[in-house]
């Protein structure tokens, strides 16, 4: 069996929503101290819905695929749903990741969480 699913390879080769957003409403940046990979998520929010999302990931293929899939999963979704996004959902949407690569999907969950926190902080409200 191939180590990586077709979906992982697809999102790694053709990542969706790459880049940054000028005047983003929320920005989250997280890193993994062990592997040194860094993920940054930019959110644009309109009436409590993610109207746009972009990412910049300096990391491994699984981190890029996880960022790409995670942004696809939250685009157009209400913040109440975005808050509940787990790395498990990202991994499942990618048809799985090897066990030693699961932390790459955790980075996506954390980056989105950090971007949401930043958004709420800018709104002057607690998460």
Instruction: Return the structure tokens found at 87.
Output: 């790395």
Q: 113: exposed, middle or buried (C-beta count within 10 Å: 0-12, 13-18, 19+)?
A: middle
Active-site residue (options: 9, 18, 35, 38): 35
Question: How far is residue 7's CA from residue 94's CA, in Å, rounded to a whole number?
Answer: 5
Q: Is 82 in the site for ligand FES (CB under 6 A)?
A: no
Active-site residue (options: 45, 94, 104, 112): 104
Question: How far is residue 37's CA from residue 30's CA, in Å, rounded to a whole number?
Answer: 9
Q: Is 38 in the site for ligand FES (CB under 6 A)?
A: no
Of 25 and 37, which CB lies nearer to ligand FES in the complex structure?
Answer: 37
Any idea which residues carry the catalytic annotation?
A: 35, 104
**Residues at the interface with ligand FES (CB under 6 A):** 32, 35, 37, 59-60, 62-63, 101, 103-104, 107
């Amino acid at each position: 069996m191939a180590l990586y699913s077709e979906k992982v390879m697809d999102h790694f080769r053709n990542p969706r929503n790459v880049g940054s957003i000028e005047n983003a409403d929320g920005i989250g940046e997280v890193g993994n101290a062990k592997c040194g990979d860094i993920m940054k998520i930019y959110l644009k929010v309109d009436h409590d819905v993610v109207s746009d999302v972009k990412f910049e990931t300096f990391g491994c293929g699984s981190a890029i695929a996880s960022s790409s899939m995670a942004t696809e999963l939250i685009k157009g979704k209400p913040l109440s749903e975005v808050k509940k996004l787990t790395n498990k959902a990202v991994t499942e949407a990618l048809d799985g990741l090897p066990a030693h690569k699961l932390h790459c999907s955790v980075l996506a969950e954390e980056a989105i969480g950090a971007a949401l926190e930043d958004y709420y902080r800018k709104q002057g409200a607690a998460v």
